[in-house]
Structure 1
């Protein structure tokens, strides 16, 4: 996913953060287009609040997406196009990855 220079403008807590950390494989053909599409698709989802993303030259990337509630996160995970991108990521683009979900109780 391409790096974003903007900090997400989120509402007053509480809300949720999905933290996706990944290391890319050497085969990144098609990855940037897929990542761009996933950002577009996420923005269309009910409960989506914003996103921040960065990737280092070593291939380590962190994307944090913010969501209104757990139900919105579950719905996003179930979107067919997102599921297909996840499957391709697991089989082709990601050497390692982790997903963490947390409740944001305070922000400043």
Structure 2
């Protein structure tokens, strides 16, 4: 699956699948290199077997949350072992992150709600 999305929400299949939740506090000196590498990693992830999609937000300060979705744990493990990803992990620990947390969870159920801009007007 391409992991294509429209807006902030990844288009995902029916569960089960896995979510990798990466919450970070960036250093004040991470600079332009961080954004370039982060964008390149998302594009690389989109080409990996088992990748389903990604959602990411960052506040006006330095806190960010990125959730990537994967078909299975083997796909996550393969992604983690890629040389480019290993290099980015090292740079993150050394330069970009003051603190981070990474969690892996199996998604058993997923719900959504869409409110039409015209709801109640028809």
What TM-score, normalized to structure 1? 0.94
Q: Where does 1:1-108 land on structure 2 (aligned, <5 Å)?
A: 5-29=7-31, 30-108=33-111
- CA distance in 2 between counterparts of 1:5 and 1:55 reads 15
CA shift, 1:27, in A, is 1.1
Measured on the aligned residues, the alpha-carbon RMSD in Å equals: 1.1
Identify the range of structure 1 (42-51 vs 23-32) with the bigger mean alpha-carbon deviation.
23-32
Aligned with 1:58: secondary structure? coil
Runs of 5+ consecutive residues of structure 2 not aligned to the other structure: 1-5, 112-122
Q: Which has the higher contact order (CA 8 A, sep 6+)?
A: 1
**Structure 1 stretches of at least 4 aligned residues deviating more than 6 Å after TM superposition:** none
- CA distance in 2 between counterparts of 1:57 and 1:25 reads 13
Which structure: larger Rg? 2
- CA distance in 1 between counterparts of 2:89 and 2:40 reads 12
